[in-house]
Amino acid sequence: MAKEKMGNNQRVGIYPGTFDPITNGHLDIIERAARHMCDRLIVSVAINAGKGPLFSLEERTNLVRTEIERINDRCPEATIEVRAFDNLLIHHAQDVGASFIVRGLRAVSDFEYEFQMTGMNAKLNREIETVFLMASDRYQFVSSRFVKEICSLGGDVSQFVPESVEAKLREKLGK
C-alpha cells in the first residue's frame, strides 16, 4: 500500500476529534491508523463549540496540521490530511468518501460513550464502519482535559504533547 494508490480502491478513513489540544496519544492513534488501516486518513477537527474549547477551530486545525506534517514524513504507507468540520460526523465521513471512522479507546469509561455513538452512526449510515484502536499503554491516561489542567497550574506537560503544542498552551494560558 503506497501513497500513489488512487481511485475507488482507496481505503479512506477519518479520525475525528476536538483536539483541544492534540496530544501524543492522538498522534499515536493517527500514525498507527495510517500505517495499518488505510491509504488515506483524514484527521477531522470538530468545531465542537459545546465543549468550550480553549483554542479556536483555526488554532486547533493549525496545531494538528503542524504535527501531521511530521508524521507524513515518517509514514509513507498513507496520505494524512487535516480538515475542519462543523456538521454531523457521519455526514462529514460521507462528504470525504470515508468508509470507516477511527476512534481511540483509553479505558472502559471511553467505551460506553463510543459504543452509543457507534450505534447512532450505524443507524444513520450502515455503510460507514467504526474501528477502535486501543491507546498505547504509555498514553492510556493522557487526555486533552488533563493536559490543559496540568499546564494551567504550572505543571510540566512535555511528556504528553509535542513541543510546539506545549508552547502554544503556555502562551494561551499565560504560563
Residues classed as catalytic:
26, 51, 106, 144
- Residue written as grid cell 479505558: 107
Dist. CA 52–CA 64, nearest whole Å = 18
Residue 173: how many CA atoms within 13 Å on its side-chain side? 21
Asked if 129 and 3 touch (Cβ cutoff 8 Å), the reply is: no
Please name which of 171, 173, 166, 164 lies closest in space to residue 68, comparing C-alpha atoms: 164
Furthest-apart CA pair in the chain: how many Å?
49
The Cβ of residue 51 has, within 10 Å, a number of other Cβ atoms equal to 12
- 79: which residues sit within 8 A by CB, 6+ positions away? 3, 39, 40, 41, 72
The closest of 64, 133, 79 to 101, measured between CA atoms, is 133
